[in-house]
Structure 1
Amino acid sequence: MASPLNRNHHLKAMEKTAMGEEEVAPIGHSNSTYVEKCIQKFNDWHGRKNPLGLCEDEQDRLAMSLSISDFLEMKKVLKIDEDEKFPRYCYDVSSTTLTIQRMPSPIHEQVMSTVAGGFSAVQASLPTNYRRSIQIVTNQVFDEFDGRHDGTEKIPDTAVQITDAAGMPRVRFILEVGLSESYEMLVHDAQTWLEGNNDVTLVMLVKLEENPPYVCPVKDLTDEEFEHLKFPDRKSINVKTFALEGDYGPATYMGLAWVGEISGFIEVWERDKLSGMAQITAAGRINLFNLLNTQSTLFTLRDFMELPVEGDHKVLINWDDYFSNLGINICQLAAYRCRQMRKDRAGKDDIRDADYEP
């Protein structure tokens, strides 16, 4: 376990986010004034108090500097382990940082679905006993990390667990996707998984990029200037409200961009056999859009498990499935952002995410 943070380091509490608006968690009691401040910061962010005062990264992600003892105290007070509706989070013990995220965007979610589909297809081709040993999981907390990562807790976008002959489930493959997350954050994820958990064989990073990066186009308008635009009612805003300027964005409405043009790339990371450090595989960086009209394979099931049955059992990922929906997913994100803007402008704190059940 890491030693408690230096108190000066506590002053570095910051914020950063992916989508969703949820009920504010109740504040319990903590003996630590700093933990109470972090809980209040979380509740303000989670309840979208003063959202127009946040930068775009802070709208989607909250990051706070916490010693491991303070993190455990915050978990206890907020009952994080008992609350299935608590937002996705990661506690990185090496940097003593707790990061909490809103729900991912449709663009982000569709990558997860596409990659999982590749594993599901090859899984279905196996004999029953091998098929049942494979689990494709999302939204699961993993905390079995060693070395300098001991004490870390992470929820990957997607994980593939394989139960070995001794009946032990072992996480072998990790997918991490980033739209609001920086490339550097994704690389840190890969390093954490590969250098902190010896069971993990490969980590796939998918970095999505938005050009230009999103800034709410009416953020700096006065109330009078905004009213002059005559935006429709929040409930009238949907995917049909927006025009796609290209196949993959930007998505605009009233001449304003609500989602920029989307591009991206893929990297697969592995553990170096000599140093034990994370490194990019020989495939290098792959432009995501070069995979249009292809079924790509960057690994096989044999990379993750022993298979006595014949064949390579390549994991074929059909990126056509992703691109066929990308335009509508971009418009979904645009509609979400625009509706959130209407809520934030109205300041209606009583409007909550209907999917959240405390």
Structure 2
Amino acid sequence: MRFIHLADVHLGAVPDRGCPWSKEREEEIWSTFRRVIAGIRKDPVDLLFISGDLFHRQPLMRELKEVNYLFSTIPDTRVYLMAGNHDFISRDSFYNTFEWNSNVVFFKSRELTWVKDPKLDVYVYGLSYYDREIKEGLYDKASPIQEEGIHILLAHGGDEKHIPLSAASLAAAGFDYIALGHIHKPQILIRDQAAFAGALEPIDRNDTGDHGYMEGRLVNGRIRTEFVPFACRSYQQLVMTLHEETTQISLEEAVKSQIFRRGGRNIYRVILQGMRSPDLLLIPEKLKNLGNITDVIDESWPAYNLPELYKRYSGTLIGDYIGYFLSKGELDTVQKKALYYGLQALLETGSRR
């Protein structure tokens, strides 16, 4: 027995809305889902689990038909899916009346139910969201029925507003595998027993790292799983360390070099750190034009010699300003910003008493 576990596909999402690549990202989410189905056609699996949020919002009828067609192209694979908090079953949802292909099981009930796979000795459990938020721990008391076979739970949640999960309760429940959704970063909750597949494609700039799906196999009566990276690109943090010799042009060249090395299709958040020359005029918009860069965060500091400046401007407004902060000892981030930004303004205007 072999299966693929997907979650949080978010068909219909428009990541980084307003950015030049946003429309392309919307299409890529569909494209990557289609690639998964095409891969199953080429190398069939017995079961496909989708643990909620197949859609980013209420699915349109035409979108359900498109997905159902894709499922029809893998007739030997049994598909099990549920509605999550993004595509929850509202009163007028097309989920209510949609007729799925014969190889698809949609867990339509708000209560946990189970079905036995018609070909395998496998029992699959699931429920669907009927609201955006469910604060009750609906899975805390979930347990498999007393039947021989493999028991697999589809579950969507993991925070206080979306079915809180207890790892201890899940571990003690007795399921052979728990296919989790809602958390976008893939992670193993219990080795070979419970895992978040993560979003198939990263949905926003916080979804850093690899994305894809979980693949599972039954080996000597036990489930064995592995994560399969599958997304066409990733969000990455690009940390650039500045020094006193750094110039705007040298920084631009360094950013371009890093993007070339890591991959031009990836999407970056550039973080500037280190100590830069006080007279360096940073122009973040120029950095943004070098690639798929969502934002530039300046955490660098001007390399002022504070004791020397304090001595030079003793008895002036600038000296008093520096002395006030030096008297505080170790400064937190907010105090540092106040010191350096204020000092830069005072030095540029030449303020003295």
- Place the TM-score, normalised by the shorter chain, in its bin: under 0.3
Greater fraction strand: 2
Greater fraction helix: 1
Higher RCO (C-alpha 8 Å, min separation 6): 1
Larger Rg: 2
